[in-house]
Structure 1
Amino acid sequence: MKVSNLLQNTIKIFEKDMKNTNLFSLLSSSSIVCNSMYVFINNLGKYSILDVGIEEKKNLLEKEIAELVSNNFKLHNEIVKYFANLKEILRSFKYIIIDVEINTKTRTLVGVSTSLGRLIFDSGISFDPYMNLPYIPASEIKGIVRSYIEDKLGEKEAEEIFGNEEREGNVNFTDAYPVKAENFLFVPDVITPHYNEKKSEADAEPKPAIHLTIAPKVTFRFLIYYKREDVGKPICESLPLVIIRGLGARSSVGYSLFELSKIEVIR
């Protein structure tokens, strides 16, 4: 009975004003209820006579929350205004800007070790509480672009563009935010870990894990800006090849794959 009550209370938190609530605050507040439930469940786990149906209730909780977020979380227009304002500011400082849009080809995971959603799903997503949106950190985009240029042009050329521990680089990246979604922004997903080395029969049994992912056909946008003309060419040439390699987690098994849909240089 106690588990059922906690389950119902958690779902009610998500159902109330889901469309107008900051997702970061929503998941944080509901995590208090979830934590109470998990502590209770773990304590019950010590007593096999009480353990019937506990795992099913946990899975039901995760499934309900994931579906509520997927069906109700919507993009807002503020992010379009953000990029328009940012471009004007950068142009006023005489920066050359590369305006980039990329589309998710597959379900995408970025920031799986971050805090948002981990208490509920054991897998997080990079999320900006101020923008109320998931995002791809600028450091991740910059890192894979630098790695590609370093492999192609050499370490010295990469340091000239991106800098090193002693000198600031000549190019900057913004975080990438979703600006358009064909259907949903988030979709639930299930992974089923298999354990090769089992300590017991219970450990060997695969257990499905429900979590949130960013949906396919979501457009992310970010800006690259610099003042030296010679920086632009290697950056623009690298982007189409870099983006298809994937951004985020598990790209080697088909997650987090992108395609480049727009690249515009603004002087």
Structure 2
Amino acid sequence: MLASIKKAKDSYKAHSKKEDVRKVIRDEVIEMALKENFSDRVRLANAYMDEVVTAVKRLNIHGVDVRAVVSTKLLVGTASGFLKVITEVGMHWDPVLDLPYVPGSSIKGILRSNALELCKEKKSEECVKYVLKLFGSGEIFAEAEEVFGFKGFTTEAHVGKVVVTNAYPTELSEGKLFAGDIVNPHYYKENKVVENEYEVEPVPVKSLAIRKGVKFRFVIGVKELEDAKKLSKLLFNYDLKKPSELVFLLLTYSFSKGIGAKSSRGYGYMDVEVVNLW
């Protein structure tokens, strides 16, 4: 993919006399991406995740080896990621594996956010404290009393006891990784903001999204058993035997609500498959 973009840039001079050079390059990059064969890179990503699983087990950390299937188109890193300057829609990209990915920090943040929402519904201060102990806490919780409504609630910044790797595509959909997508700039005309919406003349802007049916793989490790047990009881009234069971419950719940950009518009929904839980 990186080589394809370089090829498109090299063609810049050939189109330098055209008015919209950026559009020419964008169309070339999208066409290349849709035709690109990612099979070898996907196999390499899968082998890499095998090594990660082995490493986590050798560290005696409880974990879960997750495969999640994209059930709708997926967008990640749209605001500033790779491809932003070309297609206007960015994407998180690993320059070593030459593949898109979902950051582990994003997955961890989604798990924590949804766990906190569940705690808030239960109006349980104890529940919130266990979520922050497991998933970490930062400056965002400096005003925790106002956020959660518990008088005198305080917390200190720490990294937590849950570790999440980046999620990489490890299985293609019908041999393909990408699908074409469209963004409509509804409120601009001739690069100016319109004052009246009736003046809008939306021109579709082509972009890329992860294709429906692509399978991602990642690993979540949990270092603490007792805290996970207590949180599982508070959230789901479930007596777990392994801390990774709690992660799986939260993951299934969170992914059913969508991840990444435009989840409110139907993007980013994923079905979770667990290959191994230890």
Q: Give the TM bin, normalised by the shorter chain.
A: 0.7 to 0.9
SS of aligned partner of 1:102: strand
SS of aligned partner of 2:56: helix
What is the TM-score when the length of structure 2 is the normalising length? 0.74
- How many residue pairs get aligned? The number is 230
SS of aligned partner of 2:251: helix
Structure 1 window deviating more from structure 2 (92-101 vs 58-67): it is 58-67
Q: Do residues 27 (structure 1) and 5 (structure 2) align?
A: yes
Amino acid at match of 2:114: Y
* Matched-pair contact (CA < 8 Å) for 2:184–2:203: yes
Q: CA shift at 1:200, angstroms?
A: 8.8
Q: Which residue of 2 aligns with 1:212?
A: 208
Query: Could you list the per-position Cα deviations for residues 207-264 of structure 1 after superposition, in whole angstroms to 9, with x for gaps in the alignment?
Result: 1100111100000011001232243243222111101111111111121221112253
Q: Which residue of 2 aligns with 1:45?
A: none
Q: Which residue of 2 aligns with 1:16?
A: none
* Matched-pair contact (CA < 8 Å) for 1:24–1:116: no
Q: Which residue of 2 aligns with 1:258?
A: 270
* Matched-pair contact (CA < 8 Å) for 1:31–1:119: no
SS of aligned partner of 1:248: coil
Q: CA shift at 1:152, angstroms?
A: 1.9
Taking the aligned partners of 1:117 and 1:187, their CA distance within structure 2 comes to 15
Q: Do residues 155 (structure 1) and 150 (structure 2) align?
A: no
Flag structure 2 segments of 5+ consecutive residues without an equivalent.
120-126, 139-156, 229-242
Taking the aligned partners of 1:191 and 1:115, their CA distance within structure 2 comes to 16
* Matched-pair contact (CA < 8 Å) for 2:38–2:177: yes
* Matched-pair contact (CA < 8 Å) for 2:8–2:28: no
Taking the aligned partners of 1:62 and 1:168, their CA distance within structure 2 comes to 40
Amino acid at match of 1:65: V
Taking the aligned partners of 2:70 and 2:250, their CA distance within structure 1 comes to 18
SS of aligned partner of 2:209: strand
Q: 260, 263, 268: which is aligned to 1:248?
A: 260
Q: Which residue of 1 aligns with 2:154?
A: none
Mark the CA change 1:137 to 1:209 in structure 2 (over 3 Å): closer, same or farther.
same
Q: Which residue of 2 aligns with 1:143?
A: 109
Q: CA shift at 1:104, angstroms?
A: 0.7
Flag structure 1 segments of 5+ consecutive residues without an equivalent.
1-22, 42-53
Taking the aligned partners of 1:200 and 1:246, their CA distance within structure 2 comes to 33
Taking the aligned partners of 1:31 and 1:58, their CA distance within structure 2 comes to 10
Structure 1 window deviating more from structure 2 (253-262 vs 205-214): it is 253-262
SS of aligned partner of 2:39: coil
Q: Of Structure 1 and Structure 2, which has the larger fraction of its residues in helix?
A: 1
